[in-house]
Amino acid sequence: MNNTRTGRQAGRELAAMPKPAENVLRIAVRLWDWSQWCRQVMRGIQSYAHSRPNWRLYTVSGQNESGAIFHSRQNWDGIVTHVLTDVAAIRGLMAKRGTRVVSFSSRPPTALRHLPAVRVNDEAVAAVIGRHFLAGGFRQFGYYGVRGPVRCLDFRAAAVVKFIESVNCPCDFVVSGAGAAPTLAAVVRWVARLPKPVGIFAWNMAQARTVIQACERAGIGVPEQAAVVAWDDDPVLAESIVPSISAAILPAEQLGYEAARRLDELLRGKDASAEARLVEPTGLLHIRESSDAASVPDRRVYLAAQFIRENAGRALGVTDVAVCLGISRRALERQFRRVTGETVNAAILAAHVQRAKQLLVETPWPVTRIAKQAGFGTQRQLHRVFRRRESLTPQEYRKRFGGG
């Protein structure tokens, strides 16, 4: 739907549509915009809807377009949305018209915290980003959230809290909440007072760009003094700024599919519980310039982590890493454990697994080839490690996250 139209105009257009056949279900999808993430979510919703021929999808996007759905005279059977700012209207649709609503937001309003929901496992995402920071020698953290018109829960901030507590590191939060977004000058002051070097978790790519701009104005080197990673990847936005922005790769398409599945269950009278269903992330980061560095005191650990990552496609041992850095194996293992909290062997295995995940998602290669290209050597070894670490076979992982 054209975003230049007002919500009222869009609502009139929807109201003017002919009344569907009795067995047809009107399903509204409310998106914030048509960013890559939202398009992938929509693709997942459409994929599920293909199995429900009586569904008719109506999609509205744009920051001010909620009226087209929430204030429409249409009797919506179901709504899938991550835009939940119009709390009263959503409650009214549910109470007066019996509309089923499913949220896929990691930042739902406090007043709608019991809404049926599907969301990404943010704790797993925070751990992946956090471990990346630790490998770079960062042990001071910051979190930059997002603000809006209503009070909200912030599951991403909560996930960061859990991670920093697990590694006993400090973090300074600009949390999500109600009210106007901080001015760029306020963000400049915030990044300037953070202890350095610091790893900053950003709510999304837009927030990460704001942090990058603030660092530039404050004269803070990125990534030497402040490394920045966004919660969800959008290559166009990430690579249209210098330095380019690292980001977690989220399973947006699967999120949309599972949200549509949850709505279908509600429409069939199944499982109306408020407990959110979690979609597991791929565990992949797209590492770009904004976090591809480390503090000087732990430079060797960073270089070790970089060497492991860059050589994950071949058989690799601790001795190989130590020889590359020109230090003893014992010194490497001691420094690496002190900075990252894990062994070099564990980091090597994790890099092989991440490389295999990437190839499973991004290529049509047979698993035998992927096992060799990810440094496992044999398909049997890859299968064994995957089952132990992911509780999935490589084939099951590809089916879940690769869209195949």
Contacts of 231-234 with C-beta under 8 Å, sequence gap 24+, read 231/122, 231/125, 231/129, 231/156, 231/201, 231/202, 231/203, 231/204, 232/37, 232/204, 232/205, 233/36, 233/37, 233/205, 233/286, 234/35, 234/36, 234/37, 234/205
State residue 248's pLDDT score.
95
State residue 66's pLDDT score.
61
Domain with CATH 3.40.50.2300 in the chain: 7-118+252-279, 122-250+284-291
272: confidence class by pLDDT, cuts 50, 70, 90: low
Angular region, 359: left φ>0, alpha ψ -120 to 50, beta rest:
alpha
CA distances from 31 to 153, 226, 242 (A): 19, 32, 28
Q: May I ask the CATH class of domain 122-250+284-291?
A: alpha beta
Mean pLDDT estimate for the chain:
87
State residue 342's pLDDT score.
85
Q: Which two tokens stand for residue 57?
A: 């999808």
Count of CA atoms in the C-beta half-sphere (13 A) of 373: 13
Domain with CATH 1.10.10.60 in the chain: 296-401
For residue 71, is pLDDT > 70?
no
Residues 6 or more apart in contact with residue 331 via CB below 8 angstroms: 322
Among candidates 287, 294, 253, 292, which has minimal Cα distance to 403?
253
pLDDT tens-digit map of 178-210: 667 788 999 999 999 999 889 999 999 999 999
For residue 4, is pLDDT > 50?
no
Mean pLDDT of 300-322: 87
Q: Provide the greatest CA pair distance for the chain.
A: 76
Mean pLDDT of 250-274: 89
CB–CB of 49/80 below 8 Å? Answer: no
In this structure, which topology does domain 7-118+252-279 adopt according to CATH?
A: Rossmann fold (3.40.50)
2: confidence class by pLDDT, cuts 50, 70, 90: very low
State residue 99's pLDDT score.
93
If one compares 81 and 151, the residue with the highest pLDDT of the two is: 81
If one compares 85 and 20, the residue with the highest pLDDT of the two is: 85
Mean pLDDT of 239-265: 94
Other residues' Cβ atoms within 10 Å of the Cβ of residue 142:
22
Helix (H, G, I), strand (E, B) or coil at 246: strand
Sign of CA dihedral 41, 47, 51, 53: positive
State residue 120's pLDDT score.
95
Query: How many angstroms separate the CA atoms of 124 and 381, rounded?
Result: 25
**What would the DSSP string read from start to end of 301-361?**
HHHHHHHHHHTTTS---HHHHHHHHTS-HHHHHHHHHHHHSS-HHHHHHHHHHHHHHHHHH
CA dihedral 304, 306, 308, 311 (to 10 degrees): -130
371: confidence class by pLDDT, cuts 50, 70, 90: very high
Query: How many angstroms separate the CA atoms of 66 and 31, rounded?
Result: 9
310: confidence class by pLDDT, cuts 50, 70, 90: confident
pLDDT tens-digit map of 89-98: 889 889 888 9
Omega cis (within 30) before 223:
yes
Contacts of 232-237 with C-beta under 8 Å, sequence gap 24+, read 232/37, 232/204, 232/205, 233/36, 233/37, 233/205, 233/286, 234/35, 234/36, 234/37, 234/205, 235/36, 235/286, 236/36, 237/35, 237/205, 237/206, 237/209
For residue 277, is pLDDT > 80?
yes
Mean pLDDT of 289-314: 78
Q: Which residues of 38-70 are buried (b: 16+ CB within 10 A; e: fewer)?
A: bebbbebbbebbeebeebbbbbbbbeebbbbbb
- Alpha-carbon 331 to chain mean position: 36
17: confidence class by pLDDT, cuts 50, 70, 90: low
The domain 296-401 having CATH identifier 1.10.3720.10: the answer here is no
295: confidence class by pLDDT, cuts 50, 70, 90: very low
CA dihedral 61, 66, 67, 69 (to 10 degrees): 80
Mean pLDDT of 110-134: 92
**Residue % of the chain over a pLDDT of 70:** 88
Phi, psi of 290 (to 5 degrees): -70, -15
If one compares 73 and 193, the residue with the highest pLDDT of the two is: 193
